[in-house]
Amino acid sequence: MLLAVFTIYIVPLLIIIIIYTYIIRYVQQSNPLHRKRCKANRRNMIVIRRTLILLFCLIIVGIPSLVILFIYIITDYLTPLVYDIQLLSISVDLTLTTIVLACITPKIRSVFRRNRKHQNLRQNTAESILGQRSQEI
């Protein structure tokens, strides 16, 4: 069972951390004399930061599953609530991933802002029309 924990959780996490560390070092060691390269480095760092935010959220949501796995390894017993906890964990994971992706992607964020402005404009227009009609009565 301990081998399963390493295979499922720890090995992929270590591989991802090593790859991101290598990418960050590569980006930081680039020659900063060229403006284009500096701009590309900044863009790469933004992408890496967004990816790490998403990865951190996924790791946080996966903690209950890891705890349940450790409890099962230690006690060799699972309660029936484990399946409900797993289902809730997966649901929260998918919802959180969608929200985080919407928040960290600038184009999607700008669409939400634009829609909110149009919605506020429509609401203000409707309120002013209703206000004028109530004054006429």
Tell me the pLDDT band of 40, cut-offs 50, 70 and 90.
Answer: confident
Domain boundaries, the chain: 2-104
Q: Is the pLDDT of residue 32 over 60?
A: no
Tell me the pLDDT band of 134, cut-offs 50, 70 and 90.
Answer: low
Q: Is the pTM of this model over 0.75?
A: no
**Rounded CA separation 46/28 (Å):** 13
**Rounded CA separation 73/85 (Å):** 17
For 99-123, the pLDDT digits (tens) are 888 888 888 888 878 877 777 666 6
